[in-house]
Structure 1
Amino acid sequence: MHSSRPNGGPVGGGPDPYANHNREEVTRILIQSLNDLGYHAAAERVGQESGFEVESPDVVAFKQAVLSGSWGRSEELLCGQGARGDGLVLAPGADRNIMRFRLRQQKFLELLEQRETSRALVVLRQELTPLCQDQHQTLHILSRLLMCQDAEELRSRANWDGANGRSRQILLAQLSESISPTVMLPDHRLAVLLNEVKRSQTGECLRVLDGFDEPVSSCLWTADGQTFITGSFDKTKPICQWNLHGECVYTWPKMHRTQDIALSPDERWLVAIDEQCNLHVYNFVTREHAYHLALQVRATSVSISRDSKFMLVHKADREAILIDIETRETVQKYTGQVTGQFTIRSDFGGANENFVLSGSEDLM
């Protein structure tokens, strides 16, 4: 069904809108849905008549390479050795090197799982290290995995279900978020949109989490949408990860009353602030406590930049600080907002996150 056009598109000029929607986007979703339903001939016919394709040949090849564990081919297609020669089109703000790191990390873990320790060490030194020279903590954690005695210990310590589990599908889902939707539709797009419409129309409560002795202060989703994380003032459930059935799959053991949590977009760091003026940084992959910072003043909110390098912490002393997650250094301070009896939050703003937004209790 793929045509010679790399990213999909009509044979002639730009398509007319469809009921105020982009005609190409609607058609691509329709073709994908017909294939999902098993109507492959109909999908082929729509593709031929419209001149649109769901995904470019390079994207199809990239997905197949990731799912089959062809890591060299995956990088070739990602970085520009496919049919087009200039690599996959990425979403705004996406970092190609972060995507390469994820591919190589999966390769490293699979080699360890196969007990090919020497080859895994070469990947760590020659392929992973050049991509994260400013992330020594990550390299240290990966290095420690070399000491695992068997595959079961590796999967447990790395919070990873192995090459025969869902790890490649999860990796592809993470990588897909960095690829422009103009060339790669999210899986089952129409079904996802229909579910969103149903939920918004019915307002149905799908799940209630109980068993907390104190209020839940924060909640966020993981990238794959299959689990979510809560922060709570309940010291027995300070930070918990839940599946869609409402089952707690992991509780971080460090006991503190959690004021707010943030998960880095690359899912490398989980940051929590407690009400005792401490900031806790966890490695989300291994679930280990990486370090903590004493802030001297109670923090009210934390958020992480899109590139996963910085965290923005709002404090009760009318100041927000920007901290480098890897080096732990404060690189910028923001003052002027008024903080009193209410919880004030700060966050990154702008298309390129080139400014900081903050609430305030005054009229400014």
Structure 2
Amino acid sequence: MLAHDGDGDSALSASLDSPVGPGPSAAPGPGPFNGHKIVAKTNGCAPPPFTNGTARSSSSGELDGFVAERSRRPVARVSLPGSTLYEDSHVDREEFVRLVIQSLRDVGYMESAATLEAESGYIMETPEVAYFRRCILDGSWEAAETALGRLGVSEGDGLWEAKFLLAKQKYLEHLEAGRTTAALHVLRSELAPLNPEVDHLHALSSLMMCSDPADLRHQLGWDGATGTSRRKLLMDLQRYIPSSVMIPQRRFVTLLDQAQAFQQSRCLYHNAPLRSSSYSLYTNHMCERNSFPRVTTAVLQVHQDEVWNIGWSHSGKFLATASKDRSAIIWRIELDKDPRSRAYTTEFVLDDHPYNVNVVSWSLDDSILLTAAEHVIRLYNARTGVCMRVLEAHDDVVTALSWLPDGSGFISGGLDRKIILWDADGKLRNTWARAPIRVTDLMVTPDFTRLVAVGMYDSPSPTSANPADAAASAGGGATGPAKSGVETRIITYDLATKQPETSIQLYGELTSVKISADSQFALINNASENGPSAEIHLLDLNTQQVVRKYSGHNHSKHVIRSCFGGFEGNFVVSGSEDGNVYIWHRDSGTLLEALTGHGEGSVNSVAWNPVNECMFASCSDDKTVRIWETPPMDYTLRKDERELDIDHEMENGNGSGNGNENGVAGSSKGKGKGKGRWDASPASASSSSSSLAGTGPSTSSAAAGAAAAAGAIDGGSGYGLGSTTALF
């Protein structure tokens, strides 16, 4: 036990990333013990006053926040029974007190820390630890290596690794100072004998070719001997020193952060970063349901048929929608406005598709919008509405478009088993080997290492013993889910080599895949022959294990695309064939909301706004797109207005719905503001639905009316026959 009787010396701690002076405590100053002159104590401390831990000037007999012996009052040693903090607690008293001492010093309460040491008999760290710390910060490498052995680090505990870190720092500092001969000596006599990886040793030796210190620091991302590198080294060495001997820096704060993270993970509706003003140590954190996006604030009604797919631009200011009416629409959202006064403008109606549009995808800079209709891909200039290029390399329905994380190009996949890599301007760069599955969706991981594809085989699995299953699956699953004997797979490709890494067998149609922002998880829609048993799987891409399943929605016949959403992707949201939108807590799998509002038919796709964690959109067979947001402060008052009969129809306007010979899609710039109610009456819906395989031209006309935009409500002017309803 690290304790003293109140009369011995006490080593004094300091944070390694703070300026000199109290609060937060400084890096050690001169001297062998943690930068502070050790004064023999008489088991006491100086009287107040002090202001927030700030010490008096040294002229009053104090040094670095410590009071001279002659001004201290005696502090009696307190002896308590037992070794735990409370009788019914499992917290070790010594560990707790030492952490409190460290925390007091870190924030500048040096006298309080010294008093607690004297009163408790526990010291934060021994003189040996303080001496080791001082050696590292002073660059006394031989002394530091010797001191390391006195801190309980053995070969089995990483002694060689710790010595390598010390020698590496010494080597780099010699190079920085231009002492090439000394650096070469360290490389040969100290680093090489420790048998590091050959590639690592070669990388270090190549640094001798750096032209100057600035080049060295740039190549390593290293700030040199006078920067923070020694302090970072000390933090790295901490891993090899027993924590009971050398307490990790700011350990109490780390424990509090962990408690905060745990509370956050248990808060089902947590959907915003915890700010200092909203986080208190006095109470457990819990978000209110009313702060969660669960009410419709606008209904966008311009499409003339089912809306199959939606996608937010990366700026969050534009929304692209794809429809069975052979058009795609780019909407402008006044994101910075209050929902009560926000305008929803149709920037462009891209109505020059010969087939139903089932996929939209934005480039990273939002300058290009990709669309897919049957086997045809179109590249549109999102700022002008001009179709820049038409790509027809696929032989069957294109089901997926995924941009590379660096924006240099995109990958397309389809039911023809083709996976094609394109440049950003639409030039074919490479065609992958024919996929073993008919690709129903794919996505590139944000870390640029993998491509995850989902799909189905044309023929039933060899394990299927039912001939009827084989006959039913011969067509390739054009409209419905895979039968019980038809095998579907999740295939993970190495993006660099284009070779499959893993392949996981499933049953039931896989209609979409989304990758988490940290590239660790894939979210996969898995349809069922009977809708209630449908599931969305959360797959760990590293272990290839399904770690969570989300259920409660209906998914058996149609293409439904789910997504992550909210702050740090805390939620999973999906449409459903029952016309509702379902939201689950990602970590617990708890079903939080089943949102109503859409009309009859499937809710086909959902998309969470990338810059507003309290906004997402959904699209449906009812021909509408709904914007969902957090209820306003007076939401409970506005519910009394639900019986109001508000006319959302608009007068016919003069609009342009025809593309010109240069490929400009019919565009319009109508606004939709006006008053409304939160739960707008659902629009009538078509009973038909989207499917994996296209069925040719839509039976509904894609005439000029489909290309028209929304008109303003309540006296505004607009183009075409659509409407945009703001529900306020």
Q: What does residue 316 of structure 1 align with?
A: 503
Q: What does residue 27 of structure 1 align with?
A: 97
Q: What does residue 119 of structure 1 align with?
A: 182
Deviation at 1:39?
A: 2.9
Deviation at 1:184?
A: 1.5
Alignment check: 8 A CA contact 1:89 1:183 kept: no
Q: What does residue 169 of structure 2 align with?
A: 106
In 1, distance between residues paired with 2:107 and 2:166? 31
**Inter-CA distance 89–236: structure 2 relative to 1 (3 Å threshold):** same
User: Which structure: greater helix fraction?
Assistant: 1
Letter in 1 for 2:138: S
Identity of aligned residues (%): 33
Q: Which one of the candidate residues 36, 54, 57 is aligned to 2:124?
A: 54
**Inter-CA distance 70–295: structure 2 relative to 1 (3 Å threshold):** farther
In 2, distance between residues paired with 1:196 and 1:360? 26
Q: Which has the higher contact order (CA 8 A, sep 6+)?
A: 2
In 2, distance between residues paired with 1:127 and 1:258? 43
In the TM superposition, what whole-angstrom CA distance separates every residue of 1:218-256 from its partner, at most 9, and x where no partner exists?
xxxxxxxxxxxxxx9743179xxxxxxxxxxxxxxxxxx
Q: Which one of the candidate residues 431, 450, 454 is aligned to 1:274?
A: 450
**Inter-CA distance 11–55: structure 2 relative to 1 (3 Å threshold):** farther
Deviation at 1:58?
A: 1.8
Letter in 1 for 2:500: V
Alignment check: 8 A CA contact 1:161 1:167 kept: yes
1:185 equivalent to 2:247? Answer: yes
In 1, distance between residues paired with 2:116 and 2:495? 54
Deviation at 1:123?
A: 0.3
Alignment check: 8 A CA contact 2:105 2:113 kept: yes
Deviation at 1:21?
A: 1.0
Instruction: Map residues 1-364 of structure 1 onto 2, 5 A cutoff.
Output: 3=4, 15-18=83-86, 19-78=89-148, 80=149, 82=150, 87-89=151-153, 94-133=157-196, 135-198=197-260, 204-205=272-273, 234-236=404-406, 259=445, 273-275=449-451, 277-278=493-494, 294=497, 296-298=499-501, 315-316=502-503, 343-345=539-541, 359=545
In the TM superposition, what whole-angstrom CA distance separates every residue of 1:186-215 from its partner, at most 9, and x where no partner exists?
2222334344445655754169xx669689
In 1, distance between residues paired with 2:211 and 2:247? 40
In 2, distance between residues paired with 1:211 and 1:277? 29
**Inter-CA distance 211–58: structure 2 relative to 1 (3 Å threshold):** farther
Deviation at 1:61?
A: 1.3
Unaligned runs of 5+ in 1: 216-231, 239-256, 262-271, 281-293, 299-314, 319-339, 348-357
Alignment check: 8 A CA contact 1:259 1:273 kept: yes
In the TM superposition, what whole-angstrom CA distance separates every residue of 1:274-327 from its partner, at most 9, and x where no partner exists?
2284387xxxxxxxxxxxxx59423xxxxxxxxxxxxxxxx3369xxxxxxxxx
TM-score normalized with structure 2 length? 0.30
Alignment check: 8 A CA contact 1:2 1:57 kept: no
- Aligned-residue CA RMSD in angstroms? 4.2
Deviation at 1:97?
A: 1.0
Deviation at 1:17?
A: 3.9
In the TM superposition, what whole-angstrom CA distance separates every residue of 1:56-112 from its partner, at most 9, and x where no partner exists?
22221111111111111111111x2x4xxxx4357x984221111111101100000
Deviation at 1:160?
A: 0.6
Q: Secondary structure at the match of 2:240?
A: coil
Aligned residues: 246
In 1, distance between residues paired with 2:164 and 2:546? 39
With 167-176 and 103-112 compared, the bigger mean Cα shift is at 167-176
TM-score normalized with structure 1 length? 0.56
Letter in 1 for 2:213: A
Letter in 2 for 1:274: R
User: Which structure: greater strand fraction?
Assistant: 2
In 2, distance between residues paired with 1:258 and 1:117? 45
**Inter-CA distance 205–233: structure 2 relative to 1 (3 Å threshold):** farther
In the TM superposition, what whole-angstrom CA distance separates every residue of 1:165-193 from its partner, at most 9, and x where no partner exists?
11111111111133222112222223343
In 2, distance between residues paired with 1:109 and 1:101? 12
